[in-house]
Amino acid sequence: MLTTDTSPELTANTLTDKLTTKFSFDQIEAIPLALYIHIPWCVKKCPYCDFNSHESQGEIDFSGYVDALWADLDSQLCYVQGREIGSIFIGGGTPSLLPIAQYRTLFEGIRSRLPLAKDCEITMEANPATVEHAPFVDYLRVGINRLSLGVQSFHPDKLAKLGRIHNPMQAISAITQAQQAGFQRLNVDLMHGLPNQSLDEALADLQQAIDLGARHISWYQLTIEPNTVFYRNTPILPDDEVLVDIFEQGSQLLRDNGFIQYEVSAWTKADKPQPSRHNVNYWQFGDYLAIGAGAHGKITTHEGVFRFSKSRLPRDYVTNQKAIGWQVVADDDMPFEFMMNGLRLKDGVPRAYWHERTGLDWSVVEPTLQDLQNRGLLELTDERIRCSETGFLFLNQVLQAFLED
């Protein structure tokens, strides 16, 4: 990627003057647009977490932070470019730490600034501990219509090792209360490959979520990331043979209970699928505004595709909401960027998205795609690009083919 200190110019005058632009108005309007909001605080930093989260110490000026979010959003309104917001995702940290009164204020400001689609999916991440969230019905009243509960495990020893502050009963209660409050779109986050986790324990976690009526489960393996406590003091993890058994038998358990896998770590009930619209937009190379400390965004302009990020420290962000750097997605990087996202989806992406969302000709990727298809790793039709069953299992190998030497 090429880095620049300034944002792309999007005034009406400069846009109409650019006759050699990469994307037309019509092309940009056809690219879906979402909004990501980052709430950076948490009660306790988990030892495996490498997200931008900060333990809440002392009194937090939530009102001042919401004001900063508004100012941040105001600076990005020029990138809406005639589009509705199809989804909003509130991540963290622990977003449920933001008081419900501030959520009311925040969404009043968002609705006054942005055109939201009538069926806009609005997701909030929440931890099961009751001390960390308001009554779930209050979130529905604000307009949040999807919850993602960070359960991770239903075993107390595993939760303790992960540094989670909730217990299994609180996790079960949170799922039940969210359902009773009226949330029809609910994700349960579970991890596998946990310290000293057995096959039976991993399967029991999945079965518990299934028995509780979860219709969407994010199920992913614990990875040890740099700049985490686990990276410095790595716990004893299951060996490769156990990890393979967990993945294979866990996947079969989900399929046997009516789930389909639509992304590397995302499963939804097949009878009435509820894929995360916001995440699907990421994976299909859609655009998303981003506000909040440490938030990352992607936008398409007449000049190309750009990524940007915000200051990680809340105090710095409240003082200055400008992006700390804009990165132009260079043409040479585009094949990997696009495929890294799109091929995570089990059904891949529409073939037409390549040109529509990168601005590049089909000839740029055709030789690599044909080679992967000849090797049995990719399925290429007139309509779609997707991995074969084998290619999906060896996704990293597939993506390696799109990296420049």
**pLDDT tens digit sequence for 59-99:** 889 999 999 999 999 999 999 999 999 999 999 888 999 99
Alpha carbon 316 to its chain centroid, in Å, reads 24
- Block residue for tokens 């940290």: 93
How many angstroms separate the most distant Cα atoms in the chain? 64
- pLDDT higher than threshold 80 for residue 217: yes
CA–CA separation, 260 and 269 (whole Å): 6
Question: Tens digit of pLDDT for each residue in 218-250?
Answer: 999 998 888 888 778 888 899 999 999 999 999
- pLDDT confidence of residue 236: 85
Q: Output the pLDDT for position 19.
A: 32
| CA 41 from centroid of its chain's CA atoms | 18
pLDDT of residue 14: 37
Handedness of CA 203, 205, 208, 213 (dihedral sign): negative
- Look at residue 74 in the predicted model and tell me its pLDDT: 96
pLDDT for 48 equals: 73
**What's the confidence (pLDDT) of residue 4?**
56
**CA distances (Å), 181 to each of 22, 121, 138, 143, 146, in order?**
47, 17, 9, 13, 12
According to the model, what pLDDT value does residue 341 have? 97
Tens digits of residue pLDDT in 330-366: 999 999 999 999 999 999 999 999 999 999 999 999 9
Query: Within 94-198, where are the H helices?
Result: 100-113, 136-142, 156-161, 168-181
Query: Which amino acid is it at 47?
Result: P
Looking at residue 235, the DSSP 8-state letter turns out to be P
Q: Residue 93, preceding bond cis, omega within 30 degrees?
A: yes
- The mean pLDDT of 45-55, rounded to a whole number, is 71
Mean pLDDT of the chain: 91
Question: Could you tell me the domains of the chain?
Answer: 2-280 (3.20.20.70), 345-405 (no CATH)
* pLDDT the model gives residue 16: 34
Q: What is the pLDDT of residue 322?
A: 86
Q: Are 152 and 162 in contact, with CB atoms under 8 Å apart?
A: yes
Question: What is the pLDDT, as a whole number, of residue 13?
Answer: 36
What local confidence, expressed as pLDDT, does residue 130 receive? 63
Question: Six-digit token pair at 112?
Answer: 């006054």
Residue percentage of the chain with pLDDT more than 90: 78
Comparing C-alpha atoms, which of 165, 168, 141 is closest to residue 154?
A: 168
21 pLDDT more than 70: no
Least trusted range by pLDDT, from 51-65, 191-205, 209-223, 268-282: 51-65
Share of the chain above pLDDT 70, in %: 92
Average pLDDT over residues 307-317: 92
Q: What is the pLDDT of residue 404?
A: 62
Residue 405 has pLDDT above 50, yes or no: no
pLDDT of 375 > 50? The answer is yes
For the cut 90, the answer to whether the pLDDT of residue 11 exceeds it is no
pLDDT tens for each residue of 147-203: 999 999 999 999 999 989 899 999 999 999 999 999 999 999 999 999 999 999 999
pLDDT, position 337:
96
